[in-house]
Amino acid sequence: AQSVTQLDSQVPVFEEAPVELRCNYSSSVSVYLFWYVQYPNQGLQLLLKYLSGSTLVESINGFEAEFNKSQTSFHLRKPSVHISDTAEYFCAVSRAGGTSYGKLTFGQGTILTVHP
Amino acid sequence: KAGVTQTPRYLIKTRGQQVTLSCSPISGHRSVSWYQQTPGQGLQFLFEYFSETQRNKGNFPGRFSGRQFSNSRSEMNVSTLELGDSALYLCASSLAQGPTNEKLFFGSGTQLSVL
C-alpha cells in the first residue's frame, strides 16, 4: 500500500515570490509520482508526473518537481508565482509497472493562495 | 474534443435512499475511475473500470457499486445513503495505453448532499 503526506495544508505567498509545496510518500514498491491542480469549481488537472529517468520534471507553466528517492519526496516548486496559480495542489502516487492506471493515492492537498 | 462529463452536477437525497451518478469519458478513453472527495478524508479511490470490467476497488463498503457500458460510459450507485456519503464524487477517464502517455482527465464532479 502507498501513502502520501503533504506537509502544508495552506501556503500563502505574495505574487512573484518563490514557492515550494512539500510532498512525501511511503511505499513498499516502486511508484509513479504526480502533481495535480484543482482550480475553484473545476476538476483536477495533471500538472506534471515522474515515471522514470531524470529526477527533475517540469510543467509548461513554470512549475517543477524533483523526485528524491532517498528522502521519498516529490516537492513542487515555482521560482515566481502569479495570481492565477491560486488553487489547490494534490500530490499523488500510483504503483509502477502495474496496469491499473486509474488508481491513485492522493495527499490531503495544499491550498496555495497568491496575494497581490 | 469534449471533456469528461458528469451528471447531475448537484444532487440532494435523504438518508436511506439510493443514488446513481453518471460519467461520460472522453471519446476513445477506455478506463474510468471514480473518486470520493471530502474535506476530512480528501480524495479516496472508489473503483476503476476498463472494458466493462472492474479492475480495481478501494476500501469502501458494498453499498458503493459501479458499472461500465460498452461505450465506456460509467455509472456508480450508492444504496442506503448515509449522512457521511455527502461528498464530491469525481470521475476520471484515461486511454489506459501504458504509463508513458498516461494521465487522468477529471470531470467537474457531482456534489451529493445527504440530509
Q: Which residues contact B16 (CB under 8 A, 6 or more apart)?
A: B80, B81
Q: Does A104 score more than 80 pLDDT? A: yes
Name every chain B residue with its beta carbon within 8 A of the beta carbon of A10. none
Cβ distance A51 to B42 less than 8 Å, yes or no, reads no
pLDDT at B111: 96
Q: Does B98 score more than 70 pLDDT? A: no
- A34-53 mean pLDDT: 89
- A72-88 mean pLDDT: 96
Name every chain B residue with its beta carbon within 8 A of the beta carbon of A29. none
C-alpha cell at B40: 476530512
- Asked if residue A49 lies in contact with residue A91, where contact means CB atoms within 8 angstroms, the answer is no
pLDDT at B100: 61
Q: How far is CA A8 from CA A14, A24, B78, B99, in A?
A: 17, 11, 33, 29
pLDDT at B106: 94
Higher-confidence residue: A99 or B5? B5
d(CA B107, CA A113): 23
Assess A77–B contact: CB distance below 8 Å, yes or no: no
Q: Does B97 score more than 90 pLDDT? A: no
Name every chain B residue with its beta carbon within 8 A of the beta carbon of A99. 55, 96
pLDDT at B62: 95
pLDDT at A55: 85
Assess A29–B contact: CB distance below 8 Å, yes or no: no
pLDDT at A88: 96
d(CA B47, CA B45): 6
Of A90-99, B87-96, B98-107, highest mean pLDDT: B87-96
Cβ distance A100 to B55 less than 8 Å, yes or no, reads yes
